[in-house]
Amino acid sequence: MKSWLGVMFVLLFVGLFSSSLHAQSFGEPLSLKETTSISAILENPDSFVGKTLQVRGLVVNVCTSRGCWMSMAGSFNSTCRPGS
């Protein structure tokens, strides 16, 4: 009986934590092929006004309520909040 409970505990533990290892996708697939760096945007932000961009970077902060905003890291300890 103890070994059965131990096996069940291990399976539950593995099941709970293995789901967090899988990447999740949301929304439509990306259509742009070229990416723009955060650093390039921060160097000359006016040249990107009104343009659609695909940005790749490290997300360092996110709105925990509804995902309203996120901050992304650039080089040299700079951050950018898209949409603001």
pLDDT at position 30 is: 84
Site of tokens 């709970």: 16
pLDDT at position 82 is: 62
pLDDT grade, residue 15 (50/70/90)? low
φ and ψ at residue 61, rounded to 5 degrees: -160, 145
Q: Are 30 and 10 in contact (CB under 8 A)?
A: no
Residues 20-67 pLDDT 10s: 556 677 788 888 999 988 888 888 889 999 999 998 778 888 888 877
DSSP three-state, residue 2:
helix
pLDDT at position 46 is: 93
